[in-house]
Amino acid sequence: MMQRIVDNAIAISKESVKTFTYEALNNIVRLINGISAILLAILPGKASILEGLHGWELRPTFRGPRLPRWMGNGVSSFNQLVHELSVDSDTSSVEYSSDEDDGYSSPASPKSESSQISWASSAREHDNRRTLIGGSRSQSTQRPSHLHSPRKLPSLRDHFVRATDRRRGVIEDLHLATEICIEAAFDAVHKAAHFLLSPSEAFRIMSGWVFPQQSSTAHGHESVENVPTAVLGEHEPAPTERKTSFHPLNTDARTCQDVITELGYPYEAIHVVTDDGYILLLERIPRRDSRKAVYLQHGVLDSSMGWVCNGVVGSPAFAAFDQGYDVFLGNFRGLVSREHVDRNISSTQYWRYSINEHGTKDIPAMIEKIHEVKISELKLRYPDIDEENSDEQPYNLCAICHSLGGAGILMYVITRQIEQIPHRLARLILLSPAGFHDDSNLAFTVVEHLFLALAPILSKIVPAFYIPTRFFRMLLNKLARDFHNYPAVGGLVQTLMSYVVGGDSSNWIGVLGLPHYNMNDMPGVSFGVALHMAQMKRTGKFRMFDYGNSDTNLQVYGSPEPVDLGEYFDLIDIPVDLVAGKRDRVIRPSMVRKHYNLMHEAGVDVSYNEYEYAHLDFTFSHREELLAYVMSRLQLVKATPKQRLGCQVEGTKKVLHEHSD
Mean pLDDT per 10-residue segment, the chain (661 residues): 81 88 89 87 74 42 40 44 46 37 42 42 44 41 39 37 55 86 88 76 70 53 48 44 47 83 94 96 95 95 89 90 96 90 92 96 97 93 69 90 96 96 96 92 84 88 88 84 82 82 73 73 90 94 93 93 95 96 91 96 96 87 86 87 54 50 53
Asked whether the whole model's pTM tops 0.85, one would answer: no
Residue 118 lies in a domain: no
d(CA 493, CA 170): 16
Residue 471 lies in a domain: no
- Map residue 325 onto helix, strand or coil: coil
* Residue 530 near residue 462 (C-beta atoms within 8 A): no
d(CA 146, CA 233): 9
Residue 415 lies in a domain: yes
Residue 162 lies in a domain: no
Residue 585 lies in a domain: yes
Residue 611 lies in domain: 268-437+565-649
Residue 315 lies in a domain: yes
359: CATH: 3.40.50.1820
Residue 170 lies in a domain: no
d(CA 426, CA 291): 12
* Residue 582 near residue 610 (C-beta atoms within 8 A): yes
Q: In a 10 Å sphere around its CB, with 0-12 CB exposed, 13-18 middle and 19+ buried, how is residue 426 labelled?
A: buried
pLDDT computed for residue 312 by the predictor: 87
Residue 67 lies in a domain: no
Residues in contact with 293: Cβ distance below 8 Å, sequence separation at least 6, in sequence order: 325, 326, 327, 328, 370, 374, 395, 396, 397, 398
Containing H/E element for 292?
A: strand 292-297
How many structural domains are present in the chain? 1
